Amino acid sequence: MYVITVFTSIGGFLFGYDTGVVSGSILFIETEYNLSSFEIELFVSIAVAGAIVGSIISGPVSDKLGRKKSISFSAILFVGGSIVLGFAPKYSALIVGRFIVGFAIGVAANVVPLYIAEISPAKYRGSLVTINNLCITSGQFISYLVASGFSHVNEGWRYTLGLAAIPALIMFFGMVFIVPESPRWLYLMGQEDEAISILKRIRNTDDVEEEVQEIKESRVSSGMSQFKSILYDRVIRRALLIGCSLQFFQQFCGINTVMYYSASIIKMAGINDNSKAVWFSTAVAGANAVFTVVSLFLIDRVGRRKLLLSTMIGMIAGLLFLGLAFFFSYRDPKSTGIFAIVSLVLYVAFFATGMGPIPWAVNSEIYPSNFRGIGCGIATTVNWSANLVVSFTFLSYVNAVTPSGAFWTYAGIGIVAWVVIYFILPETKGKSIEQIQQSFSNKSTPTHTPSHPSTQLE
Ligand code: BGC
C-alpha cells in the first residue's frame, strides 16, 4: 500500500513542483527573453489554463481507460513538458511546455487522490490521501530551494524547469511495472477475478471477502446518463455540492496568493531586501510542508469535519492578523514586517492542517463508484478555475483595496466558508466508501452497509 501510494504521489510532487517553480524562475526568464508584463502573466497563467483543461478531461478518461493508464498518461506529459521547458529555444516553446505541464497537473490532481482512496482501507484512507498532499507541499518547497540553488548558474532556470523530468520518469516506470489497476474500477468494468487478485495482493491476505462484498454492493448507476444524474440524483447532487464547495472555498481563502506571491507579499510588508524576501518565502513554504505532516496524523483520528472546522478558525485568524500587519505597516514598517511573516506562517500552518488536504480527501471518497471519475473531475475543475480567478486578480485587487483590504476579504470568505461547511459536511472518518454513499441517500447516517444497493431519486 505504501509503495503504491508513494509512486502515485509523485504526481502530487510534480503538481507542487511545477506550480511552485514559477516564482523562482520567472525573474531570470523575463530578463533573458526581455518579456512584457503580458508575456509574464501568460507564462504563469497558461499552466493553470492547462490544468483546467486537464481536469475537465480527466474524469471521462479515468472512467474509460482506468486510473492506472490515466496517471501513466499524466507522467508522460510531465516528462514531455519538462523536456520542452528545459530545452526551449524561444519564448513560444516555453508557453507550449507550460501548457503541457499544466495539463498533466490537472489530470494528476484529480486521478491520484481518487486512485489512492480507491485502494485504501477505510481506516487509513485519510492519511494515505494526505501523503499526496504532503508531496504537493514538499514539491512546492523543494522547487523554491532548487530555484535558489540554480539562481547563480548561467541559464539555471533551464535546469530548474527541466529536472522535473526525472521524478516524472520514475513515476512512469513505477506506474507501468509496480502499481496495479484500482480493484474498484476493475469491478465496475466487470473484471472481477482480476479485481479480487489485486485486492489480495495489496491487502497481503486471502481474506478479502468482506471488502469484495462491499465493493459489490457499491452503489452504481441508476440507469440515467451522467448528465441527468447530476440534475435528478440526490446522492450525486449532495456529493457534488460538498465536493465543489470545499474546492471553491479552498481557493477563495487566498492560499495561492501566498504560494505564488509570498516574496512580493513579504516585500509589500516592508522587508525590502530581495534575497531576504525569497528566504522568508521559502520558510513559509517549509511550514506548509511540515504542517501537512501534522494533518497526516490527525485526519483519520480527529476526522475530516472536526479537523477542518477547528483549523479554519486559526486560518481565519492568520488572515485577520495579516490584514492588521499591513494596516499598521505605514507607521512602523520594520516590526510590522515581522508581524506579517508570523501571521503568514500561522495562516499557512492552519491551512496545511485542514483546508489544504481535506477537500482532496473528501472528494476522493464521496462519489458513487460509477460517478467518481466525473465527480472528482468536476470538483477539480472548480478548484483550478477558482485558483485562476484568485491568483490573477490578486495584484490588481491589492491595488484597488490595499493589502489589508484584500486579506480581510479572504478572511470574510473564510467565515462564510466555515458556516457553509458546518451545515453541509458530514463526518466520513472510518466509513467505507460505500457507507458514505449510503449515508447520503438516507436522511440519517446508517450504522451498517445494506445488502442491496439502492438508488434514491427525487
Ligand atoms: C491546493 C493548491 C495549493 C496547495 C498549497 C493544495 O491543496 O489545491 O492550490 O497551492 O495546496 O500547498
Residue 450's pLDDT is 37
- Comparing C-alpha atoms, which of 417, 250, 270 is closest to residue 339? 270
Question: Of 78-87, 103-112, 303-312, 440-449, which gets the smallest average pLDDT?
Answer: 440-449
Tell me the whole-structure pTM to 2 decimals: 0.89
- Closest C-alpha to ligand 1, atom 8: 356
Is the minimum distance from the CB of 356 to ligand 1 under 6 angstroms? yes
Note the pLDDT tens digit of each residue in 156-189: 999 999 999 999 999 999 999 999 999 999 998 9
Residue 444's pLDDT is 45
Q: Indicate the top mutation candidate among 255, 315, 344 to test ligand 1's pocket, ranked by most ligand atoms within 8 A of CB.
A: 255
Quote the ligand 1 centre to 255 CA distance (angstroms).
7
Looking at the predicted structure, is the pLDDT value of residue 302 above 90?
Answer: yes
> Band of the pLDDT at 82, cuts 50, 70, 90?
very high
Note the pLDDT tens digit of each residue in 303-346: 999 999 999 999 999 999 999 998 887 666 667 788 888 999 99
Task: Ligand 1, residue 355: give the atom nearest the CA.
Answer: 7
Mean pLDDT, range 205-214, rounded to an integer:
86
Mean pLDDT, range 66-86, rounded to an integer:
97
> Band of the pLDDT at 442, cuts 50, 70, 90?
low
Is the minimum distance from the CB of 140 to ligand 1 under 6 angstroms? yes
> Band of the pLDDT at 457, cuts 50, 70, 90?
very low
Residue 223's pLDDT is 60
DSSP per-residue letters across 366-423: HS-GGGHHHHHHHHHHHHHHHHHHHHHHHHHHHHHHHHHHHHHHHHHHHHHHHHHHHH
Mean pLDDT, range 13-39, rounded to an integer:
88
Looking at the predicted structure, is the pLDDT value of residue 273 above 90?
Answer: no
Question: Of 90-94, 389-393, 416-420, which gets the smallest average pLDDT?
Answer: 389-393
Quote the ligand 1 centre to 111 CA distance (angstroms).
16
Assigned C-alpha cell, 393: 486578480
User: How many angstroms separate the CA atoms of 181 and 120, rounded?
Assistant: 13
Residue 235's pLDDT is 85
Note the pLDDT tens digit of each residue in 423-433: 999 998 888 88
> Band of the pLDDT at 133, cuts 50, 70, 90?
very high
Looking at the predicted structure, is the pLDDT value of residue 452 above 60?
Answer: no
Mean confidence (pLDDT) of the chain: 89
Q: How far is CA 334 from CA 25, 328, 331, in A?
A: 28, 11, 9
- Comparing C-alpha atoms, which of 169, 179, 174 is closest to residue 76? 169
